[in-house]
């Protein structure tokens, strides 16, 4: 999530964490031969590099001095980085942020996880993943009482099924993070500390890491608890990790880090070469800045396209760039996590920059082209070493070389905003499969593209099948007359997108992120229909089950609030809950009805005057179930809250399923309306709870029935009516 919103590290706290560095920063400047002060600011997440190449040697000297002095001051210990079980973290270059509701991860039609297909898609498109964050709760959490741990328990197959998926990833060489949300304090409590529940999940799911959502670090007790649960579980925070905690956090996000025009140096990566940072700007449509930072610093990338239900795809250029650099990072991980790193090695072309990595008798240069034009010709002038051969690892071929006295000129082509890589060393140091590696790189290079167009994804609305036209209003229903009107719809901006799951190209961060309310206006023509006077009750749903013998394909959490297959005594006239969209549709078909469209539901709640609530423009006590009893109430308990057409419970008590299912092929969702008695308190990350205005729409991400069935969502039905009789 973001440092701009609830539960984030405050600016004052950040300054307190970094203030210890300021004396070191102010103790320098270092002065060049031209007496130009070198501005060296080690308080930045990316230490800015000087524009003047003449200052680069002094910049490297300042980096080395800062590192040595800070290690001494902190009495830094790398003991955890030397432990074998944590070694995987230093080579964890590509991490995918995976929504568990993503249709490419769970096939809801077949009812199974599709891990192999997901991994293979990642290999084709991005060069493969080294890890995934198995993201589960936000932005759905808060609709009902279930907490963040319940969301894992209620995934397909329960914890056993999730563990099976985790093992599939691990068999494919992909590590798995679980997500921890420290702000989840207002849902069902576990009766134990969060850390204890988290450790139990790690053990049960055999997870490899914990992603610390909204946090920059975990407490000292995290490490001990996780070590006891399972060896090799790393911690990775979202916010900038304080240096004081670098010794026991093997990874961190480099989120929205601002780089200098000349590529700067990741502060944490420079300090501890085995620390992995994942570059991430999830709302950006151009990821070359992040890719450049990762390539120049021997660090990693977060691949994130399904942003909490918003589809923000990578363009083809960025995909091909990541495909090219990842195999090199993985093969030469010892160099990228080693001590012989020279930032800003000398280059031959303006706008091109390089880092030098040495070790194992090899020299490897990573290059980036910061310009919008191709750069071709001599790129590097390097010291000649007897017996060395030279290779262009991006092209997958021998490098174009030319002797220049005691030096060698290395030439090549780097496309606009692209990357290059040269390797030198003796044949005996390449590795037995080096020729095969080059062939694979050459094949990858043939797929290199410069297309920066944003891939288009179409969000499809499931069609609504009309019912048989009825001449009269059935018993238990009220007539809603035909109308042509303009509806005003409010939806909270919660990162999960809107009706179209891909944010508009010009919407930017401000519109996609934050928690303000966005308004939509929609002109509709509605035919005459009938709506249930009340939500479907437990008693009515019980009659349906007895008459139809309906049994859902997946029974998890189905009518969880019943006992012995029957409603609880005294709750027969409460709205039925713990039913998913499919269960509601099954009842409607049996009754010869259907679920209302979103527009029909809003019109029935507001009438023609567009009132804010079914009874008027002000939320008033005694008009609806606002949670005073902590549970549902009888459907006719609030006659003063009826809509203009006489419908009960269109505000509060329970949310309503609406016939509004959409999918973009990655995220399937529906709109729920009306609000409920339940409201999770304590964080702005929760779904808006309590009674909601009649024009308020909530986007509900669909996963599978066991998770979609909530104790706060019910439904009511509609039927299509024929032309009204004359005089009626």
pLDDT average, residue stretch 201-215: 98
At 516, is the pLDDT very low, low, confident or very high (cuts 50, 70, 90)?
A: confident
Task: Kindly list the distances between the CA atom of residue 162 and the CA atoms of 279, 371, 560, 570, in Å, as whole numbers in the listed order.
Answer: 27, 45, 21, 37
> Comparing 453 with 1, which gets the higher pLDDT?
453
> Comparing 18 with 314, which gets the higher pLDDT?
314
pLDDT at 258 over 80: yes
Region of 369 (left: φ > 0; alpha: ψ -120 to 50; beta: rest) is beta
At 21, is the pLDDT very low, low, confident or very high (cuts 50, 70, 90)?
A: very low
pLDDT score of 508? 47
Q: What DSSP element (H or E) covers 133?
A: strand 131-135
pLDDT score of 134? 98
Go through 223-259 and write b for each residue having 16 or more CB atoms within 10 A of its CB, e for each that does not: bebbeebbebbbbbbbbbbbbebbbbbbbbbbbbbeb
CA distance 365 to 40: 24
CA distance 345 to 341: 10
Query: Would the pTM count as exceeding 0.75?
Result: yes
pLDDT at 680 over 90: yes
pLDDT score of 455? 81
Query: Dihedral angle at the C-alpha atoms of 103, 108, 109, 114, nearest 10 degrees?
Result: 60
Q: Which residues pair with 699 in a beta bridge?
A: 671
What DSSP string runs through 390-415?
A: EEETTTTEEPEEEEETTEEEEEEEE-
Contacts of 305 (CB under 8 A, 6+ apart): 311, 312, 313, 314, 666
pLDDT at 514 over 70: no
Average pLDDT value for the chain:
92
pLDDT score of 220? 85
At 17, is the pLDDT very low, low, confident or very high (cuts 50, 70, 90)?
A: very low
CA distance 668 to 180: 24
pLDDT score of 502? 60
To 5 degrees, how large is the angle CA 340–CA 290–CA 175?
75
Contacts of 250 (CB under 8 A, 6+ apart): 80, 81, 86, 89, 90, 234, 235, 236, 274, 275, 276
Question: In order of start, what are the domains of the chain with their CATH numbers?
Answer: 11-332 (3.20.20.70), 460-720 (3.90.1580.10)
CA distance 221 to 85: 19
pLDDT digits (tens, 9 = 90+) for 600-611: 999 999 999 999
């Amino acid at each position: 999530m973001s440092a701009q919103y609830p539960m984030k590290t405050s600016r004052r706290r950040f300054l307190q964490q970094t203030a210890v560095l300021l004396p070191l920063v102010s103790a320098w400047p270092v002065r060049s031969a031209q007496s130009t002060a070198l501005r060296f600011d080690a308080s930045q997440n990316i230490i800015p590099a000087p524009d003047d190449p003449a200052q680069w040697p002094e910049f490297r000297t300042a980096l080395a001095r800062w590192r040595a002095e800070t290690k001494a001051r902190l009495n830094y210990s790398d003991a955890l980085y030397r432990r074998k079980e944590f070694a995987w973290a230093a080579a964890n270059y590509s991490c995918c942020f995976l929504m568990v509701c993503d249709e490419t991860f769970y096939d809801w039609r077949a009812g199974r996880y599709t891990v192999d297909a997901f991994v293979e898609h990642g290999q084709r498109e991005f060069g493969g993943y080294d890890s995934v964050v198995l993201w589960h709760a936000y932005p759905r959490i808060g609709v009902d009482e279930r907490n963040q741990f319940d969301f894992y328990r209620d995934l397909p197959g329960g914890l056993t099924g999730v563990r099976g998926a985790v093992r599939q990833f691990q068999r494919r060489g992909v590590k798995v993070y679980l997500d921890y949300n420290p702000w989840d304090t207002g849902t069902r409590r576990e009766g134990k500390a969060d850390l204890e529940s988290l450790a139990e999940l790690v053990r049960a799911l055999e997870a490899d890491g914990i992603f610390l959502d909204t946090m920059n670090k975990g407490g000292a007790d995290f490490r001990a608890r996780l070590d006891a649960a399972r060896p090799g579980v790393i911690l990775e925070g979202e916010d900038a990790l304080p240096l004081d905690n670098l010794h026991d956090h093997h990874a961190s996000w480099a989120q929205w880090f601002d780089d200098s025009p000349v590529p700067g140096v990741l502060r944490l990566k420079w300090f501890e070469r085995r620390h992995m940072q994942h570059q991430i700007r999830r709302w950006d449509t151009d990821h070359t800045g992040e890719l450049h930072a990762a390539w120049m610093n021997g660090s990693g990338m977060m691949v994130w396209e399904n942003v909490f239900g918003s589809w923000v795809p990578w363009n083809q250029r960025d995909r091909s760039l990541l495909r090219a650099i990842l195999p090199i990072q993985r093969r030469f991980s010892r160099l990228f996590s080693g001590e012989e790193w020279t930032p800003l090695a000398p280059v031959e072309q303006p706008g091109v920059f390089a880092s030098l990595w040495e070790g194992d008798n090899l020299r490897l240069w990573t290059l980036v082209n910061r310009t919008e034009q191709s750069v071709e010709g001599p790129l590097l002038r390097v010291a000649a070493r007897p017996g060395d051969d030279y290779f262009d690892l991006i092209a997958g071929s021998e490098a174009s070389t030319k002797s220049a006295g005691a030096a060698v000129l290395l030439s090549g082509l780097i496309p606009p905003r692209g990357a290059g890589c040269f390797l030198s060393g003796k044949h005996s140091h390449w590795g037995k499969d080096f020729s095969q590696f080059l062939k694979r790189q050459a094949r990858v290079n043939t797929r290199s593209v410069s297309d920066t167009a944003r891939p288009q994804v179409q969000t499809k609305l499931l069609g609504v099948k009309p019912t048989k036209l009825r001449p009269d209003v059935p018993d238990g229903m009220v007539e809603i007359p035909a109308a042509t009107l303009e509806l005003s719809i409010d939806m909270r901006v919660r990162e999960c997108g809107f009706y179209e799951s891909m944010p508009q190209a010009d919407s930017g961060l401000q519109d996609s992120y934050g928690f303000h309310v966005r308004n939509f206006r929609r002109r509709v023509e509605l035919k005459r229909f009938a709506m249930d006077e009340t939500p479907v009750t437990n008693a009515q749903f019980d009659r349906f089950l007895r008459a139809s013998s309906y049994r859902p394909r997946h029974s998890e959490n189905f009518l969880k609030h019943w006992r012995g297959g029957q409603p609880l005594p005294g709750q027969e006239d409460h709205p039925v809950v713990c039913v998913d969209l499919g269960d509601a549709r099954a009842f409607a078909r049996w009754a010869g009805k259907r679920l209302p469209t979103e527009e029909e539901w809003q019109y029935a709640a507001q009438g023609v005057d567009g009132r804010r609530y079914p009874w008027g423009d002000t939320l008033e006590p005694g008009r609806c179930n606002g949670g005073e009893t902590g549970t549902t109430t009888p459907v006719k308990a609030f006659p003063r809250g009826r809509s203009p057409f006489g419908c009960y419970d269109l505000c509060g008590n329970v949310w309503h399923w609406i016939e509004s299912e959409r999918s973009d092929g990655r995220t399937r969702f529906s709109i729920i309306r009306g609000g409920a008695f339940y409201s999770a308190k304590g964080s702005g990350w929760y779904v808006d709870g309590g009674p909601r205005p009649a024009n308020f729409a909530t986007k509900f991400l669909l996963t599978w029935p066991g998770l979609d069935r909530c104790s706060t969502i019910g439904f009511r039905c509609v039927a299509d009516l024929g032309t009204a009789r004359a005089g009626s």
